[in-house]
Structure 1
Amino acid sequence: MQTFPLSLVVMTYNEAHTIARCLDSVPFAAEKLVIDCGSTDDTVAIARACGARVIHQDWLGFGPQRNFAQAQAGHDWILALDADEYLSPALVDEMTAALPALLVSDKAAAWLRRSLIYMGAPMRWYRPAVGDRMARLYHRDRARWRDVRVHESLEFKGPATELKAPFYHLNNRSLLEKQLKVLRYSELKCLDWNDRGKPLRMWQSPWVFVLAFFKDYVLRLGLLDGWRGFAISQTAASYALYKRMRYFEMKHDPDSVATAATALRRHQLDR
């Protein structure tokens, strides 16, 4: 397949089970770059076997790590994927047709559509999981990731185009892994809140779970995906409530920050 002056950039930590599929799904990238923060499994060896250049960087937080990664890329146009994401064959065809014009244009980015695979199958109705619109293809001189520990998003200046075919996200291989991710992301979000001095609004907490569940299960059509929709809505609502309770604890017991960091390291969840 023809290649284009484009860098596929992937951040990894113990992703041996997914990294090959991710890298192999982008056959048109002239460069495949993996930024690894200390994997203890075969991630690095597999990435190199797939033709990727691997750079080690201790974990900086999601936004800073992505900004570090794009600075290491050999090309200005970057496709950013997570290790548990991969392009569909339809998107490969669409991108190879669109890239010749896009790469010489004044566009800052391209919106891609992400579809979620949850509990072993694609979600069919739940709106955030069906065609989630994300800026993942961009020119690095016209865009930068928000400098936050978690829930980073790409900020760019200039016009953007949009591609229609999906790329896929294997959300988590089990609910256990999802719950562990909720704990880790909550801690990172609370640390960001703490840095900004976000005010406590615990009076909202009794309603947070109910309203978050209603939004995802009813308004976002989770109920049409059956028990999988119930599970994903419950997890989202629990995350919304738990991070507020954890932030309350963090403000009232500052020593809990160090205690939690020790626990996360013990369970290898500190990135």
Structure 2
Amino acid sequence: MPAFPLTLAVITRNEAAHIARCLDSVPFAAEKLVVDCGSDDDTVAIAQAHGARVVHQDWLGFGPQRNFAAGQCAHDWILVLDADEYLGRDLAEELQRRLPALMAGDAAAAYLRRSTVYMGAPMRWYRPSTGERMARLYHRGRARWSDARVHESLQFDGPAPTLRGSFLHTNNPTLVHKQLKVLQYAELKCRDWLDHGKPARMWQAPFVYALAFLKDYLFRLACLDGWRGFVIAQTAASYALYKRMRYYEMTRNPASVEQAANALRAQGASIE
């Protein structure tokens, strides 16, 4: 299979269960780069065995970590996947057909579609899990990641076509994993709010929960995915509410920032 002047870039911490499948799904990338922030499982050894160059970087936050990875890449065109994501066969074939023209043109990025496997099966109706558009392929001279600690986005001006095939996301293997990630992501988001001096508006909290649940359950069609859809909508609404409660606590009790960070580090979460 011909290799394209493209780097697959993956940021990791303790992803031994997933990293091989992720790397192997992009056999046409001339380079595979893993930026690891301190795994204590076999992530690094498995990544190297599957053709990746591994670079260590202490955790900087999602946006800065991705920008660091971009600076380590050997090629200007970069495909970004998380370790628990992998290319579907249709998307892999489409990329091989379209990459030459894309790289020769003036596009800044390209949108890929992501489909999610949740509780052991693909979601069928919930819109963010069935073909969500995400900018994951880009030219590093024309695009960069925002500096957000979490919920980072690729920022660019210029053409960005959308590919038809999908990459797959094996969402958190259990609700326990999901809740740990919710705590980590909420903490990172609240730290961003704290840095920017956002007011804590607790009066919004009940409305935020209700609106977030209705948005996902009804308008994003989670209701059509049965009880799995209900769980997704409830989890999303709880996350929206918890962020605001946690931020209120940070503003009331600044000492809780480091106390919570220590508790999350004990669970293996990266909080900086």
1:131 counterpart SS class = strand
Q: Distance in 1 between matches of 2:122 and 2:9?
A: 24
Matches of 1:262 and 1:182 in 2, distance apart?
A: 16
What is the letter of the counterpart of residue 160 of structure 1? Answer: A
Q: How does 1:178-197 map to 2 (within 5 A)?
A: 178-197=178-197
- Per the TM alignment, residue 201 of structure 1 is displaced from its structure 2 partner at its CA by 1.3
Instruction: Kindly report which structure 2 residues correspond to 1:246-257, keeping only aligned pairs within 5 A, or say none.
Output: 246-257=246-257
**Structure 1 residue 192 displacement after superposition:** 0.2
Q: Give TM-score, length-normalised by structure 2.
A: 0.99
Q: Is 1:22 matched with 2:22?
A: yes
**Separation in 2 of the partners of 1:62 and 1:206?**
29
Query: 1:88, 1:142 → 2: CA distance?
Result: 26
Q: Distance in 1 between matches of 2:43 and 2:154?
A: 26
Deviation of 1:208 after TM superposition, in Å, equals 1.4
d(CA) in 2 for partners of 1:71 and 1:269?
Answer: 24
Structure 2 residue 62 is matched with structure 1 residue 62: yes
1:93 aligns with 2:93: yes
The aligned counterpart of 2:39 is: 39
- Tell me what 1:265 maps to: 265
Give, in whole Å, the separation in 2 of the partners of 1:126 and 1:99.
Answer: 30
Aligned residues: 271
Q: Does 1:229 align with 2:229?
A: yes
Give 1:207 deviation, angstroms: 1.3
CA positional deviation for 1:26? 0.3
Instruction: Give me the whole-angstrom Cα distance separating, in 2, the residues matched to 1:267 and 1:76.
Output: 36
**Which residue number corresponds to residue 142 of structure 2?**
142
Q: CA deviation at 1:269?
A: 1.2
Provide the identity percentage. Answer: 69
- The code of the aligned residue for 2:265 comes to R
Q: TM-score, length-normalised on structure 1?
A: 0.99
- Helix, strand or coil for the counterpart of 1:148? coil
List structure 1 segments (4+ residues) > 4 angstroms apart after TM superposition. none
User: How far apart are 1:91 and its partner, in Å?
Assistant: 0.3
Q: Structure 1 regions of 5+ residues with no counterpart?
A: none
**Separation of aligned partners in 1, 2:222 and 2:97:** 34
Give the counterpart letter for 1:88 in structure 2: G
The aligned residue for residue 168 of structure 1 is 168
Distance 1:116 1:244 in 2: 27
1:121 aligned partner: 121
User: Residues 66-85 of structure 1 correspond to what in structure 2 (within 5 A)?
Assistant: 66-85=66-85
What's the CA shift for 1:270? 2.3
What secondary structure is seen at the aligned counterpart in 2 of 1:82?
Answer: coil
User: Counterpart of 2:10?
Assistant: 10
How far the C-alpha of 1:76 sits from its partner, in A, is: 0.2
SS of residue paired to 1:173: coil
